[in-house]
Structure 1
């Protein structure tokens, strides 16, 4: 059922007893039956509840920070708020789509190209080069390229054991979610 121009519920928010919940979204009033849980939460449900609590705290901090809030508001669609976007961003870690080693030959100045994406913004991409014994040869920050998708890392240390090496990429987003992906040099 759809009710249009009903002065009784227009702009309403909150709850009526233990029966109904009113909320606003994109200028529309949403009315829903209030659910009441009687069973205890499972371990997985507790984990999701805690993660949601953390996401809400992050989103509130974004709303209180004019600079971060402006970042989220700049991409908000109609009906979305910076709080909504920050909440969603907290839930989703970046994805490392591709690590390209074509221009990395173990020499200083060789480059590694990383494609990393996020539902909002990849904040940093860190590259580590490990030798065959998993010892770190070098670590550094990749530079975001003009296309907004690819990150370029330039090697600063000579790698004499190239074939047994691993390139480890860590992509981070604004809420601090991290994704780590390794690629063996072949």
Structure 2
């Protein structure tokens, strides 16, 4: 590997030359290196999981971009050098985050965030024996982050189970134990 300094010709060149040398830029420095070939090592379990997740994300992006409304939504979020496909893959790669579950009188208030959009939040009230007493979809509040669900009752020793789902269908589950 060589760092290139003050070479007018190589200031404009990027890519592979003669299937032997690769020229690229990283952190503002031009680097010349021997062209890498495919790895001879067996991929790790984490690498295989990441590849599978990326395959699913790419498949989602291809399907979802057939919907003109969602394509326009993702395109509106794209920055310079990005497109709707890039944004859809990025959205499919990450699950939403449930930051907080709190109780306000008979309301369950869920703070859920996603880099793009949380599509829905489902709330289940479960008793101490594990039976579901009630379930339903929460309603998005005015602030765009808090979701509200009005409960009939909260059983002592039970729990509130919250499932947040984003546009690609990635779900995150979090529980709040009731005293």
TM-score range relative to shorter protein: 0.7 to 0.9
Q: Which of 114, 131, 153 does residue 127 from structure 2 map onto?
A: 131
Matched, 1:182 2:178: no
Matched, 1:118 2:111: no
Deviations 1:132-164 (A, max 9, x none): 111000110000111100101112x445xx221
Tell me the CA shift for residue 18 of structure 1. 4.6
Structure 1 Cα separation of the partners of residues 90 and 19 of structure 2: 28
Match of 1:142 in 2: 138
Q: Which of 94, 97, 106 does residue 96 from structure 2 map onto?
A: 94
Moved more, 126-135 or 69-78: 69-78
Deviations 1:17-43 (A, max 9, x none): 755789xxxxxxxx9955421112122
Moved more, 77-86 or 134-143: 77-86
Tell me the CA shift for residue 103 of structure 1. 1.5
Q: CA RMSD in A?
A: 2.9
Structure 2 Cα separation of the partners of residues 153 and 19 of structure 1: 61
**Count of equivalent residues:** 166
Structure 1 Cα separation of the partners of residues 111 and 164 of structure 2: 10
Query: Structure 1: which 5+ residue stretches go unaligned?
Result: 23-30, 105-110
Match of 2:149 in 1: 153
> Residues 3 and 47 from structure 1, CA distance in 2 versus in 1: closer, same or farther, beyond 3 angstroms?
farther
Matched, 1:50 2:46: no
Structure 1 Cα separation of the partners of residues 171 and 97 of structure 2: 9
Query: Structure 2: which 5+ residue stretches go unaligned?
Result: 24-31
Tell me the CA shift for residue 183 of structure 1. 0.2
TM-score (norm 2): 0.79
Tell me the CA shift for residue 61 of structure 1. 1.8
Structure 1 Cα separation of the partners of residues 21 and 67 of structure 2: 33
Structure 2 Cα separation of the partners of residues 102 and 167 of structure 1: 13
Q: Is the 8 A contact 1:113 1:152 kept in 2?
A: yes
